[in-house]
């Protein structure tokens, strides 16, 4: 597990994806603009970011598929996203604004 404050290459993500079946679990802090990668569970990455100073309301779980392109590259799906108190009642990211912010952060952090 590690926190990416600068960038990570697509090749690094591809190497990580071999461990968990072509997917990399990622947790994004939409306030701080950082991501945590490379764990079996989103909750482990969530704990890593919380220990680093992130706030629960700002972190969202996603899956990346480094071998895929376009819309298939990212999947908005994680148990940590279920937050009825924030109006998010699914495992996805219901807010279009938050999804757009996540995509923007990924564009900055993941070198293609």
pLDDT at 112 over 70: no
Please state the rounded mean pLDDT for residues 47-55.
Answer: 98
pLDDT at 15 over 80: yes
Q: Which helix (H) or strand (E) holds 42?
A: helix 42-51
Q: What pLDDT, on the 0 to 100 scale, is given for residue 21?
A: 83
CA 50 to chain centre: 14
Within 8 A by CB and 6+ apart from 43, the residues are 79, 80
Give the separation between CA 99 and CA 26, rounded to whole angstroms: 14
For the chain, the domains span 2-111
pTM passes above 0.75:
yes
Give the separation between CA 30 and CA 106, rounded to whole angstroms: 10
If you average pLDDT over every residue of the chain, what do you get? 95
Q: What pLDDT, on the 0 to 100 scale, is given for residue 111?
A: 84
pLDDT at 25 over 80: yes
């Amino acid at each position: 597990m590690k926190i990416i404050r600068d960038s990570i290459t697509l090749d690094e993500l591809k190497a990580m994806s071999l461990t968990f079946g072509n997917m990399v679990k990622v947790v994004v802090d939409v306030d701080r603009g950082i991501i945590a990668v490379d764990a079996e569970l989103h909750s482990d990455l969530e704990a890593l970011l919380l220990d680093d100073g992130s706030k629960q309301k700002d972190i969202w779980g996603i899956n990346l598929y480094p071998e895929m392109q376009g819309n298939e590259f990212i999947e908005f799906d994680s148990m940590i996203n279920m937050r009825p108190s924030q109006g998010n009642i699914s495992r996805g990211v219901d807010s279009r604004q938050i999804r757009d912010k996540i995509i923007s952060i990924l564009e900055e952090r993941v070198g293609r």
